Amino acid sequence: MRTRRKMPRHVTPPTPSARPWTEEDPDREMRIAVDFPLAQLLDEYAEQSARYRELVAAAALDQRAERAVRGGLHVDLRWILLHLTEETARHNGHLDILRELLDGTTGA
């Protein structure tokens, strides 16, 4: 969820972030997930999604990011939404592969 949590913030003024990873422990978020109940994770995801829907509804697609991404590029909201769609599709594909390895079902 790192990308989905981070990307929409590029079009808003900087705010403090409660990131589960640090420079000393960049993979911490991969280990601590098992400590959280699934219902809590889904509730937090729904709350975050609602906040971003409000953010996107209030902005224009050609609004430039206040903070730069790779190489100092100031992307627009349209680029951010496309990137989030790509990332979500990629992660869904990973989950589909894992499901297929578990139960052998393909093409479902």
Q: What is the pLDDT of residue 6?
A: 55
Burial track 30-56 (b if 16+ CB lie within 10 A, e otherwise)? eeeeeeeeeeeeeeeeeeeeeebeeeb
pLDDT digits (tens, 9 = 90+) for 10-66: 555 555 566 777 888 888 887 887 888 989 989 998 999 899 899 999 999 999 988
Q: What is the pLDDT of residue 11?
A: 56
Gyration radius from the chain CA atoms:
16
Q: What is the pLDDT of residue 8?
A: 57
This model's pTM is above 0.75: no
pLDDT at 1 over 50: no
Q: Which residue has the tokens 């989950």?
A: 95
Q: How long a stretch of residues is the chain?
A: 108
